[in-house]
Structure 1
Amino acid sequence: MNVLSTAPHYLELSELAARLRTGTVSPVDVTHTLLERISRLDRSLNAYALVTADDALAQAELAEAEIKDGRYRGPLHGVPLAVKDLCWVEGHPTAAGMSIHRDFRPTENATVVQRLKEAGAVILGKLQLTEGAYSDHHPSITAPKNPWNPDYWPGISSSGAGAATAAGLCYGAVASDTGGSIRWPCAANGLTGLKPTWGRVSRHGVFELAATLDHVGPMARSARDCALLLAAIAGPDPNDPTALFDPVPDYAALAGRGVGALRVGVDPGWNGDDVDPAVKAVLSEAEDVFRSMGATIVEVTCPDVTQAITDWTPNCAVEAAVAHEATYPLRKSEYGPVLASVVEDGRALSGTDYQKILLRRLDLRGRMAALFGTIDLLLTPVHPFGPLSLETIQTLGTQPDLIFKLQRYTCPFNMTGNPTITLPGGYTDTGLPIAFQLVTAHLDEPTLLRAGAAFQEVTTWHRRHPTA
């Protein structure tokens, strides 16, 4: 069941920030409230891998003192957040969903964590994920539950980030996306999520699944919230030479500019082939909303992504084999069967086959760049069906067609590196969320955030929450 809620734990990050800045809300009180909710609700949700309550309260006390003293750091100051448990937090275990790393305690923060702390955020803890950020939880881990309905998929690999943010156990999260891991949990949990351009956000101190496919980005309750989080974590990093040396815009200011005369591309074939009626209805309503705000809907033909979807798995496998070479096959028996299988596949792929994949990726990237020379945004589903039950998800291993459909609109944009935003756009008759996706050209996150914020100014889908 979904409800429009004004409960303080369901405030948007940007709304909370305004109250913290004026002193009408205390960072310490907010942090106590969320820690109490975590203690009460996470026993059944299993969203957190680790709660760092003492550190969080100390950070909240510091934030409160600084704000009272006029030393306001910005809109994340005093805001309780959490990070996917593949981001290093100095002195605390970072397991990345793996049993072999449960005792690993990094001696420094990941760049994204350091930047959140410098912005004054309160880090509540580490959020659970699938093993190594691939597609299944390690057998020793109890998987997070979807707070809308525990019989439904919470999305992967950022399963804990989706569950915690949706359930009011944090005001936003930093996660990663290699083939859909920000977008699927946002769609499943009624959240807004931004997969930035590859390289827009540093990957230093973030456990690697597949280096050239991994994107680090925010999951939150609104596009404006994502803008505030992205502004804090984006930018060049000497510890990650792949982080782009490109100026970081004022995302929050740009998010308020409306859609103006933006051109929104729609491919009727790609969005229509084998897409469930409920998803089509969400897409159609989104088109109507953008049109009503002055955008132009442009019919386009997208590049064929069939080969890219096929190529994603071996591409990811090769890069995962590299990421795990220090522990696999040395500690093979401690791996779960799904991650072990993908690493084995990566070790077996020939160099020439991998090079062919890379060349096809470059070809698709060029074709997508040409498409975005004619439009500003591309509107697609996140996946072509409504919410998936756990019963259906458990059959994925025997349904390659279903896996292909699940990846159809997500992994191609990891292969090309284009940024995307996921927005709640409707609900099923039983009250479960359905989302859609906007895609744009490289480094054009401002347009994504602008369009997302404009959509959310005239709709309320993102303000609905589970009844917990």
Structure 2
Amino acid sequence: MESDIHWLTATELGQRIAAHEISPVEVTEAMLARIGRLDPALHAYVVVLRDRAVAQAKQAGEEIATGRPRGPLHGVPVAVKDLCDIEGVPTTAGTAILRERPAQRTSTVVERLEAAGAVILGKLALSAGAMFDHHPSVAVPVNPWNAGRWTGVSSSGPGVATAGGLCFASLGSDTGGSIRFPSAACGVVGIKPTWGRVSRAGVFPLAPSLDHVGPMCRTVADAATVLTVIAGADGRDPTALRAPVPDYRSAVRGGLRGLRIGIDERWNTDGLDPEVTGLVLATREVFETLGAQIIPVKVPANDALVMTWQAIAAAEAAVSHAGLFPENADAYGPSTRGMLEAGPALPATVYASAHEARLRLAGELAHLFESVDVLLTPTVGLATPPIGTEPSPEVLARSMRFTVPFDLSGSPTISVPCGFTQDGMPASLQLIGRHLAEETLIAAGHAYEQATDWHQRRAPLADADRLET
């Protein structure tokens, strides 16, 4: 088996497994060996489920050998953010207090991955409570593009594992940008589906009305495959949407002729890093070449929405952590504690005003999507910062400019690599669509990806034979 098999896409690997060219057991053991070699320095995994993964790989191999294929993920090793319950395994949610509490039942998203025949390698690191910072006792994941740079929060482990070739696909969650921040910082593809498109049953909540679960992969086609598997109604989660789930993989065969892409150039650039926003705006030429129509628009969002998001998130997070906080405050990082302390202290009028602003935004976006099919923005409008820096409130607002509005509205988004800054860090574009328009986003993201070669670049630390631990 070739030494760089970890760089196959999930789609390519699934095809080779189905054709009996590669054994699920061989590839799983190769991935486990790679994790053992690189993860002591990259810190992507909270726990590696070695025995479970090998057993799943053996079962997949037997089923495929006897003509019982389950689909394109059958035998493909993946990993999930440590908010997703797996029966018998603790879900730490990035905290210290939950490390000794095994889950009683597996989350719906993991059940669906396993039903599709995927091999679950383990659970991936995140910030404390899926909020802003990692607990001091946690080894912070290391960006495989540059060990001195931020990996994004809170799905830092999924971003690092996916970019580092430590899994073929992963699941993250997004409440204020936590699929999109690490996708941008680590140079991978992330889909934040429409709110409710993917069940949250068995996924530890942060702010339930803002929480989204979605795939993080190295290509758009892989993300489409994973989303097809995990999406859909769920009796365990009454908020999961009952709309039929299309085969999102078919969207990658769609063209962009006539697609209307809205761009608010001022919003996309004002006060932001010109190098990053320049790379994103340069994608207009690629989309136009592919047949899309660029339409100037004014997005009904502003940086004050970050305060709207903070009010709703803090109040809901306080409810999510009731019974754990403040009794176990030391189990959380300092900024996370600050958010949990702020939630109960919010006046009802502040929460009501935030809710009204949220409804207004959703209505205005729905009106905007009558004239365009997708919006194009940076995923993050600032260069990936050095680790250990404490952003000012102004910088924080600008970094969340393109993420929190679409958690508030529940709109689907896709983040796709779109170049590199002069210091070698990935840049990322974001496409936003109307509710349940994931197929349109996948078609546009895939077409752009295939017209460029950014997704073929490899993070330098992930190609090292060994790293200092």
TM-score, normalising length from structure 2? 0.96
What residue in structure 2 maps to residue 228 of structure 1?
A: 225
Q: Does residue 1:401 correspond to 2:398, yes or no?
A: no
Pairing partner for 1:203 from 185, 197, 200? 200
- Runs (5+) with no aligned partner, structure 1: none
Give the Å deviation of 1:198: 0.5
Listed one character per residue, the Cα deviations across residues 46-98 of structure 1 (whole Å, up to 9, x for unaligned) are: 10000000000000010011111110000010000000001001111110100
* Equivalent pair of 2:318/2:340 in contact (CA under 8 Å): yes
What residue in structure 2 maps to residue 464 of structure 1?
A: 457
Pairing partner for 1:12 from 9, 14, 17? 9
Correspondences of 1:14-413 after superposition (within 5 Å): 14-391=11-388, 394-396=389-391, 399-413=392-406
- Rounded Cα–Cα distance in structure 2 between residues aligned with 1:264 and 1:321: 38
Q: Does residue 1:434 correspond to 2:427, yes or no?
A: yes
* Equivalent pair of 2:301/2:405 in contact (CA under 8 Å): no
- Rounded Cα–Cα distance in structure 2 between residues aligned with 1:261 and 1:386: 32
Listed one character per residue, the Cα deviations across residues 139-166 of structure 1 (whole Å, up to 9, x for unaligned) are: 1111100011100001110011101111
- Rounded Cα–Cα distance in structure 1 between residues aligned with 2:400 and 2:278: 20
Q: Does residue 1:416 correspond to 2:413, yes or no?
A: no
- Rounded Cα–Cα distance in structure 2 between residues aligned with 1:13 and 1:459: 19
Q: 1:58 is paired with a residue of what secondary structure?
A: helix
* Equivalent pair of 2:85/2:105 in contact (CA under 8 Å): yes
Please, which moves more after superposition, 176-185 or 334-343? 334-343
1:334/1:190 CA distance change after superposition, 3 Å: closer
Detail structure 1 runs of 4+ shifted over 6 Å in the superposition: none
TM-score, normalising length from structure 1? 0.96
Q: 2:282 is paired with a residue of what secondary structure?
A: helix
What letter is aligned with 2:246? P
- Rounded Cα–Cα distance in structure 2 between residues aligned with 1:249 and 1:369: 22
CA RMSD of aligned residues (A): 1.2
* Equivalent pair of 1:258/1:453 in contact (CA under 8 Å): no
Q: Does residue 1:445 correspond to 2:442, yes or no?
A: no
Listed one character per residue, the Cα deviations across residues 180-214 of structure 1 (whole Å, up to 9, x for unaligned) are: 10001010111000000000000000000001110
- Rounded Cα–Cα distance in structure 1 between residues aligned with 2:341 and 2:145: 36
* Equivalent pair of 1:235/1:243 in contact (CA under 8 Å): yes
Q: 1:465 is paired with a residue of what secondary structure?
A: coil
Q: 1:462 is paired with a residue of what secondary structure?
A: helix
* Equivalent pair of 2:129/2:332 in contact (CA under 8 Å): no
- Rounded Cα–Cα distance in structure 1 between residues aligned with 2:281 and 2:241: 35
Q: What is the count of residue pairs matched by the alignment?
A: 460
- Rounded Cα–Cα distance in structure 2 between residues aligned with 1:403 and 1:30: 41
* Equivalent pair of 2:87/2:104 in contact (CA under 8 Å): yes
- Rounded Cα–Cα distance in structure 1 between residues aligned with 2:365 and 2:4: 42
Give the Å deviation of 1:425: 0.2
Give the Å deviation of 1:6: 9.7
* Equivalent pair of 1:190/1:465 in contact (CA under 8 Å): no
What letter is aligned with 2:104? T
* Equivalent pair of 2:318/2:343 in contact (CA under 8 Å): yes
Listed one character per residue, the Cα deviations across residues 3-41 of structure 1 (whole Å, up to 9, x for unaligned) are: xx9932111111111111101111111101110110000
What letter is aligned with 1:405? R
- Rounded Cα–Cα distance in structure 2 between residues aligned with 1:273 and 1:307: 14
* Equivalent pair of 1:12/1:221 in contact (CA under 8 Å): yes
Report percent identity of matched pairs: 48
